[in-house]
Amino acid sequence: MNNPVTSIKLVLLGEVAVGKSSIVLRFVSNDFAENKEPTIGAAFLTQRVNINEHTIKFEIWDTAGQERFASLAPMYYRNAQAALVVYDVTKPQSFIKARHWVKELHEQASKDIIIALVGNKIDMLDEDPTERKVAREEGEKLAQEENLLFFETSAKTGANVNEVFLKIGENVPLKQAADGSNNGSGLNVRRDNGWIWQTRLIQPRKPLTVAAESLVVLITKVHISFPERFRTEYGGVAAWAVNLCKTVSWNQP
Amino acid sequence: MDQEKVDTDYDVIVLGTGITECILSGLLSVDGKKVLHIDKQDHYGGESASVTLSQLYSKFKQNPPSKEDREGKFGKDRDWNVDLIPKFLMANGELTNILVHTDVTRYVDFKQVSGSYVFKQGKIYKVPANEVEAISSPLMGIFEKRRMKKFLEWISSYKEDDVPSHQGLDLDQNTMDEVYYKFGLGNSTKEFIGHSMALWTNDDYLQQPARPSYERILLYCQSVARYGKSPYLYPLYGLGELPQGFARLSAIYGGTYMLDTPIDEVVYADDGKFEAVKTKLGTFKAPVVIADPTYFPQKCKSTGQRVIRAICILNHPVPGTSSADSLQIIIPQSQVERKNDIYIAIVSDAHNVCSKGHYLAIISTIIETDKPHVELEPAFKILGPIEEKFMGIAELFEPKEDGFKDNVYLSRSYDASSHFETMTDDVKDIYFRVTGHPLVLKQRKDPEQE
Ligand SMILES: Nc1nc2c(ncn2[C@@H]2O[C@H](COP(=O)(O)OP(=O)(O)O)[C@@H](O)[C@H]2O)c(=O)[nH]1
Ligand SMILES: [Mg+2]
């Protein structure tokens, strides 16, 4: 339970219909859905994995279908620490697309991103081996040249799917990932009714302390009543109070 | 290719992926509308994109330098995300509000802008953001500070239904000049409040009712209060992240995206209403189209205003700013004998928008003469040596009609203001016209389950 937790942003890339969403579904829910419709509103999933006394929390971003007409935004893979570049072993075109994505990631993504090349749908070869259109060696060769992890999987049977994520987990530089995706000074504005101070702010301040401080200052220094609309959110009141004290008590020498 | 079949019928077609269009696309998808979003260009953002240095050169220069020369001087192209329009987010403004409610904050990280500066008698001064700065600020004399305090107390305590708190002033009857007079504020304080806090770009507001000024000053104070150094926030990797973030929101709720897809023809029904667009990927139908002005130039008119923008690359911080990694500088019109203020927005490698050691400054103002580049001279002087400069003039457009007649709803060009408040007004206005009800922001129900 007390394992240190490392979060990694993992993105999926590859031609439409190669099985990206299915691989995620298999990994996260150990499930498979034949001919499933793209799920609206679910393009972000998390899954925890324990590796050597350490918990890796995968934050998995699916494409939300934007890959369909070559409209995936660079924002999608910009901060990724890991990427699955997926192709369909029965579709040579999808392997060409995979090469493209590997190149794009090397150019646009962070330098120490971990990329796994994944040839999916190997279950289809069980029925008919002639279905294979991308040789295993071809995948291995590309992986070798570009320094990628390499797997052949089936989201349908589950073959090798967990292994992909475990291997990525083993290769993640733990410490670096633990500070989050940027250098620790960014304001990461999150949900919850309004704003919160993220712990990785340069000067962490607890809202409660701020509120208390400012009320003291208010009562002792400046006597001002607040417009009603600032009272809804105590953080807002506090901040407004602090600021007012700051801007208003200008008459001190 | 065995691409699955593409739907041809939608509730709304959106053309152009500028921030205005992307927010609308996101909001409408969340509302359950089936949205098709198309851009003729191969990247997101339209006029509000952030581009790489090589894209910037090819956009602005006849003879761009070779790749080797460029990289020798400025480093890797991928390190650059240069905004085409200079704007910051007000920390307490409407865009921030929309970002938080739609949870798009999940995709974009922000940094606070380090300071706002104002130009006065040949020098720049930091607009005080805390007590220490206020006390030591040479912007105002001690007695003036006292009067300023009274004025800010009035702003903060003003309550609509509490008549004594109005102190005899009526926001809708009194002009802002009358408000200043009541508090005995001098000309330089008026300039400070009107231009550095209310962010008016000229002095027309003085003779107008005080309410808009009151609201702007309130917004400014609340925004400074959020984080304390300045009222502004800026996204890591540049403003172009914002349209991409809202596009993802739209896609998650079922929106379909097609970049690099020019519109070959717009089809209208017999009654003149919009019917469909024809593209290389097929013909797509919807009862309504939303677009930026570049898709329907004949349905737009000039606002009469033209903006000049100069994107400058520096290899040093701006002198006199304590090496701030980001700032805004306002040059009030009266300081340089103009009618409109000049703005400078500065960001740096701290925001992942340029390679290490560089700073990006974008100067902008509304053109007043036939030698617009000369109008920017005072700003160039403040910046010091400039490594590279890209200048462009933008004519501002607005739709001729409200869209009810033909169901073509058009956005406005991005104006010369330093933040996004007029842009979000436009979003809300278009949303209202398209849906028939005002935009009510609800907290998004964590559909990307955890
Ligand atoms: N036989 C087989 N079919 C698969 C496999 N993975 C995905 N599919 C099917 O391929 C189609 C596309 O899968 P999807 O996950 O939506 O692909 P995506 O567009 O890359 O996200 C669906 O009909 C899946 O059922 C697999 O490993 N084997
Ligand atoms: Mg998918």
pLDDT band at B229 (very low <50, low <70, confident <90, very high): confident
3-state DSSP call for residue A186?
Answer: coil
Domain count, chain B: 1
**Which ligand lies nearest to the CA atom of residue A153 in the structure?**
1
Read off the pLDDT of each residue in B209-237 and give the average, rounded to a whole number.
91
Closest chain A residue to B444 measured between Cα atoms? A191
Cβ–Cβ of A66/B100 closer than 8 Å? no
**Beta carbons of B27 and B431 less than 8 angstroms apart:** yes
Range name among B211-225, B302-316, B433-447 with the lowest pLDDT average: B433-447
Tokens of B170: 């009526």
pLDDT in the model for residue B6: 86
pLDDT one-digit tens code per residue, B14-73: 999 999 999 999 999 999 999 999 999 999 999 999 999 999 999 999 999 999 999 999
How many A from CA of A17 to the centre of ligand 1? 6
Where do the domains of chain A lie? 5-171
Cβ–Cβ of B142/A73 closer than 8 Å? no
Q: Which atom of ligand 1 is closest in space to residue A33's alpha carbon?
A: 25
Is residue B368 included in any domain, yes or no? no
For residue B395, the distance in angstroms to the closest alpha carbon of chain A comes to 28
In terms of residue numbers, what domain contains B191?
Answer: 128-227
Q: Does the CB of B241 have a partner CB in chain A at under 8 Å? A: yes
Interface test with B, best of A57, A248, A252 (most B CBs within 10 A): A248
Instruction: Kindly tell me if the per-residue pLDDT of B387 is higher than 60.
Output: yes
Read off the pLDDT of each residue in B387-416 and give the average, rounded to a whole number.
96
Decide whether any atom of ligand 1 lies within 6 Å of the A34 Cβ. yes
pLDDT in the model for residue B137: 84
**Furthest CA-CA distance within chain B:** 76
pLDDT in the model for residue A179: 40
Contacts of A236 in chain B (CB under 8 A): 222, 225
| B30 vs B246: CA distance, rounded Å | 11
Whole-number Cα distances in Å, B289 to A149, A226, B34, B127, B273: 45, 44, 12, 43, 10
Nearest to B379 by CA among B362, B359, B360, B391: B362
What interface predicted TM-score (ipTM) does this complex get?
A: 0.83
pLDDT in the model for residue A108: 84
pLDDT one-digit tens code per residue, B132-163: 787 778 888 888 888 988 898 899 889 999 99
pLDDT in the model for residue A217: 36
pLDDT one-digit tens code per residue, B107-129: 888 998 999 999 999 999 999 88
pLDDT band at B245 (very low <50, low <70, confident <90, very high): very high
Cβ–Cβ of A251/B145 closer than 8 Å? yes
Tokens of B347: 């960001």
pLDDT band at B281 (very low <50, low <70, confident <90, very high): very high
**Which ligand lies nearest to the CA atom of residue A34 in the structure?**
1
Contacts of A74 in chain B (CB under 8 A): 244
Q: What is the mean pLDDT of each run of 10 residues along chain A (253 residues)?
A: 81 95 91 70 79 88 91 91 97 97 90 95 95 97 97 97 94 57 35 26 31 36 36 40 38 26
Cβ–Cβ of B248/A247 closer than 8 Å? no
Q: Which atom of ligand 1 is closest in space to residue A120's alpha carbon?
A: 27
Mutate to test the pocket of ligand 1, among A11, A22, A67 (most ligand atoms within 8 A of CB): A22
Is residue B44 included in any domain, yes or no? no
pTM of the model: 0.86
- Please name the CATH architecture into which domain A5-171 falls: 3-Layer(aba) Sandwich (3.40)
Nearest to B13 by CA among B259, B282, B288, B271: B288
Give the one of A16, A107, A243 whose C-beta lies nearest to B224's C-beta.
Answer: A243
pLDDT in the model for residue A53: 81
Average pLDDT of chain B to the nearest whole number: 93
pLDDT in the model for residue A3: 75
**Beta carbons of B240 and B44 less than 8 angstroms apart:** yes
Q: What CATH number does the domain containing B152 carry?
A: 1.10.405.10
Instruction: Kindly tell me if the per-residue pLDDT of B262 is higher than 70.
Output: yes
Give the one of B100, B146, B444 whose C-beta lies nearest to A189's C-beta.
Answer: B100
Cβ–Cβ of B258/A16 closer than 8 Å? no
Instruction: Kindly tell me if the per-residue pLDDT of B91 is higher than 60.
Output: yes
Is residue B290 included in any domain, yes or no? no
pLDDT one-digit tens code per residue, B183-198: 999 999 999 999 999 9
**Beta carbons of B169 and B182 less than 8 angstroms apart:** yes
Range name among A225-234, B1-10, B149-158, B340-349 with the lowest pLDDT average: A225-234
Give the one of B44, B109, B257 whose C-beta lies nearest to A186's C-beta.
Answer: B109
Task: For B308-355, give the DSSP string.
Answer: EEEEEEESSPPTTSTT-SSEEEEE-GGGGT-SS-EEEEEEEGGGTSS-
pLDDT in the model for residue B60: 95
pLDDT in the model for residue A187: 37
A187 phi/psi in degrees, rounded to 5: -85, 110
Decide whether any atom of ligand 1 lies within 6 Å of the A12 Cβ. no
> Looking at chain A, how many residues does it have?
253
pLDDT in the model for residue A91: 97
Is residue B213 included in any domain, yes or no? yes
pLDDT in the model for residue B109: 87
